[in-house]
């Protein structure tokens, strides 16, 4: 049923501002679902101090919808945004800089989620949450979460970290500019920018320039994402909440062993064969960078340098990575489980997994993302050689992850024996 509500309140909750506005609202009480229809009136921007400046990088959207995007839930209600206008996607390969600069309450023509949902999913994933937990938290379908994570996985290393950056509507930016949150940084250019923007918003009538200042600050973070790991950690996660007692921490540290560089545990971490499910944002951001560099490098010496960088990171941050080191030590000392012989790469079971999404379901995130990428490759290029190569990679992934893919392994073996 369509209802008339004070739309100004809902616009404020969703961060919607001119030239966008809520045109209609449908509340499905039985399903606890909201459908928000947006309108776009370009002429309104000149009258609203919330209108976006040219500095935000936003361009005029084009009509051609309706477009439907999933959005983070509001209260106990799931939410969907509908609009006749949208920004055209520049590429199907991951998240682009253009997307990162768009308002959080809209999406792209070729995607089924808003930019804010993408950001919240990316941030929750960095905090170590599983896909099912993220879906439940944000009140969206698990398939949408998988789509977001797959798009982020295809994103270039330069912008992958920026995908988790809070949208312009997030209060962290205003708190930073109004000196209610102190950002610790050693980057001189960021210090200068913060000083300039703080002065501008603290001047008389400076609040009218707040949205422009937020856009400029956020644009700087996006452009320099790879140099702002510490700052990203502060903006995305203000407090990890873990404060162990000093004596207890020291006693635990004495019992822990940092694996040698030649230990296979570092290779398994970079290849995604093991997942620490860490809530440490700095570690997760660092792993994203190293994994991408490791995959792109074919030189063994370069890969060795990357492995060494990961080990050095653990060595320098041993105190804050206590739980991760405990898990690494457990994995090192765990007895090897029985290794099963998988069917050959030309077996029909691999082709069926690649083509049938409902065959052998799994809740293992690394496996689901890996399989999603392989399926995309096969769909884009249905060549027998490409399909065989994908089957080979899938077989190797399961073979190397038998410990964590016990359920999937049993189903593969059962299906192969049956055929």
Q: Tell me what the mean pLDDT of segment 96-100 comes to.
A: 82
Q: Which stretch of DSSP H or E encloses residue 45? A: none
Q: Are strands 33-40 and 62-74 parallel, antiparallel or unpaired?
A: unpaired
Tokens of 286: 């660092």
Q: For position 54, what pLDDT does the model report?
A: 40
Name every residue whose Cβ is closer than 8 Å to that of residue 400 and which is 6 or more positions away in sequence: 268, 271, 273
Hey, is 296 helix, strand or coil? helix
Residue pair 122/167 in contact (Cβ under 8 Å)? The answer is no
Written as one string, the DSSP assignment of 261-295 is: TTSHHHHHHHHTSS------HHHHHHHHHHHHHHH
Q: Containing H/E element for 410?
A: helix 406-418
Provide the domain count of the chain: 4
User: Same structural domain for residues 229 and 207?
Assistant: yes
Strands 33-40 and 20-28: antiparallel
pLDDT band at residue 43, thresholds of 50, 70 and 90?
low
Mean pLDDT of 155-176: 84
With 60 as the cut, is the pLDDT of residue 249 above it? no
Which pairing describes strands 33-40 and 77-86: parallel, antiparallel, or unpaired? parallel
Q: Give the span between the Cα atoms of 283 and 320, in whole angstroms.
A: 10
Cβ partners under 8 Å of residue 46, min gap 6 = none
In terms of average pLDDT, the best of 7-11, 142-146, 317-321 is 142-146
Please check whether residues 12 and 138 belong to one and the same domain. Answer: yes
Angstrom CA distances, 405 to 66, 269, 321, 324, 402, stand at 41, 16, 26, 21, 5
- pLDDT score of 240: 41
Instruction: Give the pLDDT confidence score for residue 340 in this predicted structure.
Output: 62
**Residue 2: per-residue pLDDT:** 43
Weakest mean pLDDT among 182-186, 214-218, 223-227, 248-252: 248-252
CA–CA separation, 80 and 68 (whole Å): 7
Report yes or no: 17 and 50 within 8 Å, Cβ to Cβ. yes
Can you give the pLDDT at residue 143? 92
Domain end marker among 291, 308, 333? 333
Q: Please report the pLDDT score of residue 244 as a whole number.
A: 39
282 within 8 A of 233, measured Cβ to Cβ: yes
CA distances from 67 to 34, 37, 83, 88, 357 (A): 15, 10, 5, 11, 25
Lowest mean pLDDT among 21-30, 103-112, 176-185, 366-375: 366-375
- The confidence band for 220, taking pLDDT boundaries of 50, 70 and 90, is very high
Give the pLDDT of residue 241.
40
Last residue of a domain, one of 186, 211, 236: 236
Question: Read out DSSP for 149-185?
Answer: HHHHHTS-HHHHGGGGSPPTTSHHHHHHHTTSS----
Q: Say yes or no to pLDDT of 253 above 70.
A: no
Mean per-residue pLDDT, 399-407: 77
Q: Is residue 1 part of a domain?
A: no
The region of weakest confidence among 81-85, 101-105, 243-247 is: 243-247
Q: H or E element: which one contains 376?
A: helix 365-380
Q: pLDDT over 90 for what percent of the chain? A: 10
The pLDDT value given to residue 297? 81
Is residue 283 domain-shared with residue 192, that is, in the same domain? Answer: no
Mean pLDDT of all residues in 44-49: 44
On whether both 68 and 181 belong to a single domain, the answer is: no
pLDDT digits (tens, 9 = 90+) for 338-387: 456 788 888 888 888 888 888 888 877 778 878 888 888 888 888 888 88
Give me the pLDDT at residue 41, please.
82
Question: Could you tell me the residue range of the domain that residue 356 belongs to?
Answer: 348-418
Query: Rounded distance, CA 89 to CA 38, Å?
Result: 19
Quick one: pLDDT at residue 248?
41
Whether the pLDDT of residue 316 is over 80: the answer is yes
Residue with tokens 């030649």: 262
Q: When comparing pLDDT for 132 and 419, which is higher?
A: 132
| Residue 64 three-state SS | strand
- The pLDDT tens digits for 256-283 are 778 888 788 888 888 877 778 787 888 8
| Same-domain pairing of 16 and 140 | yes
H or E segment to which residue 33 belongs: strand 33-40
Q: Can you tell me the distance from the alpha carbon of 37 to that of 68, in angstroms, rounded to the nearest whole number?
A: 9
Q: Is residue 163 part of a domain?
A: no
Residue pointed to by tokens 């399903």: 31
> How many CB atoms neighbour CB 356 within 10 A?
10
Same domain, 117 and 212: no
In a domain, 161, yes or no: no
Task: Using the 3D structure, point to which of 305, 333, 361 is the last residue of a domain.
Answer: 333
126: part of which helix (H) or strand (E)?
helix 115-126
DSSP state of 232: H
Residue 133 belongs to a domain: yes
Q: Are residues 135 and 11 in the same domain?
A: yes
Q: What's the rounded Cα separation, in Å, for the pair 98 and 86?
A: 13
Q: Is 340 contained in some domain?
A: no
d(CA 103, CA 116): 8
- Same structural domain, 319 and 383: no
């Amino acid at each position: 049923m369509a209802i008339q509500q004070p739309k100004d309140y809902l616009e404020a909750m969703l961060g919607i501002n001119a030239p966008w506005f809520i045109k209609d609202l449908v509340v499905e009480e039985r399903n606890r679902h909201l459908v928000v229809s947006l309108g776009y009136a370009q002429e309104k921007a000149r009258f609203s101090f919330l209108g976006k400046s040219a500095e935000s990088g936003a361009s005029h959207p084009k009509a051609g919808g309706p477009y439907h995007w999933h959005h983070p839930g509001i209260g106990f209600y799931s939410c969907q945004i509908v609009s006749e206008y949208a920004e055209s996607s520049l590429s199907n390969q991951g998240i682009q800089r253009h997307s990162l600069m768009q308002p959080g309450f809209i999406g792209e023509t070729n995607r089924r989620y808003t930019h804010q949902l993408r950001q919240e999913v990316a941030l929750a994933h960095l905090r170590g949450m599983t896909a099912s937990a993220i879906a439940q938290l944000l009140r969206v379908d698990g398939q949408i979460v998988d789509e977001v994570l797959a798009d982020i996985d295809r994103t270039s290393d330069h912008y992958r970290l920026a995908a988790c950056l809070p949208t312009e509507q997030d209060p962290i930016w205003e708190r930073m500019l109004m000196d209610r949150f102190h950002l610790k940084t050693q980057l001189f250019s960021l210090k200068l920018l913060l000083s300039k923007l703080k002065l501008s918003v603290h001047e008389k009538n400076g609040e009218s320039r707040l949205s422009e200042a937020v856009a400029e600050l956020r644009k700087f973070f996006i452009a320099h994402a790879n140099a702002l790991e510490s700052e990203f950690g502060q903006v995305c996660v203000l407090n990890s909440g873990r404060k162990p007692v000093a004596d207890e921490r020291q006693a635990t540290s004495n019992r822990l062993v940092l694996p040698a560089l030649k230990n296979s545990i570092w290779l398994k971490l970079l290849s995604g064969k093991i997942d620490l499910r860490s809530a440490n944002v700095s570690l997760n951001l660092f792993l994203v960078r190293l994994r991408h560099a490791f995959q792109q490098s074919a030189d063994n010496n370069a890969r060795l340098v990357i492995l060494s960088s990961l080990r050095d990171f653990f060595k320098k941050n041993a105190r804050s990575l206590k739980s991760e080191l405990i898990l690494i030590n457990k994995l090192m000392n765990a007895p090897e489980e029985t290794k099963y012989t998988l069917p050959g790469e030309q077996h029909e079971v691999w082709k069926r997994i690649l083509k049938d999404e409902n065959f052998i379901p799994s809740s293992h995130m690394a496996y689901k993302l890996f399989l999603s990428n392989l399926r995309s490759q096969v769909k884009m290029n249905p060549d027998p050689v490409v399909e065989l190569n994908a089957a080979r990679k899938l077989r190797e992934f399961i073979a190397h992850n038998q410990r964590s893919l016990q359920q999937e392994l049993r189903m593969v073996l059962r299906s192969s024996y049956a055929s």
